[in-house]
Amino acid sequence: MAQQSQPPPITPPLPQPESDFYWEKCKAHELWLRHCKACDSTYFYPRDICPDCFSRDTDWIKSSGRGTLYAFSIVHRGPVPAFRDRAPYITALVEVEGGARIPTNLVDIEPDPANVKIGMALQVVFEDLDDKITLPKFRPAS
């Protein structure tokens, strides 16, 4: 009797010391971003040095979780087995308030170009991937 094969699980992101705080806050369903006090830039991914002016005078700020769609692609064929049964799905670059752009997925929206519009208002939601990693994703703002 043939055994039904299961796709391998999604490989979770691997937190680094610079991003531990970010992942802890995601687990608490809060979105926190790095902010540069020298040039007032808010940026992603989390790192100690500002990518805009290279200052180390940075801190954390709590994001409202509101943003707009900057770019997207609808994936019809998952690139690896773990994603094949998720297709079609939407990969996106979301610009959150403050200016940071986060690579993520859109959820709670039909993956059809007629529904997905650049500039549309979005709100963060959180997907608990396992007991350590929670991913921020975005849905249309209500």
Residues contacting 114, CB < 8 A, separation 6+: none
Site stretch for Zn ion (CB under 5 A), options 30-38, 63-71, 96-104, 128-136: 30-38
Closest CA to 120 of 71, 87, 73: 71
38 interacts with Zn ion by CB under 5 A: yes
Helix (H, G, I), strand (E, B) or coil at 93: strand
Give 50 or 116: the residue with its C-beta nearer to Zn ion. Answer: 50
Dihedral angle over CA of 36, 42, 44, 49, nearest 10:
-10
C-beta of residue 90 within 8 angstroms of C-beta of residue 120: no
In the stretch 48-87, what mask flags binding to Zn ion with x, by CB under 5 A?
Answer: --x-xx-x--------------------------------
105 interacts with Zn ion by CB under 5 A: no
- Binder among 26, 41, 63, 116 for Zn ion (CB under 5 A): 41
Closest CA to 32 of 136, 141, 142: 136
Instruction: Give me the least distance between CB of 55 and Zn ion, in Å please.
Output: 5
Instruction: Give me the least distance between CB of 98 and Zn ion, in Å please.
Output: 13
Chain contacts with Zn ion (rule: CB under 5 A): 36, 38-39, 41, 50, 52-53, 55
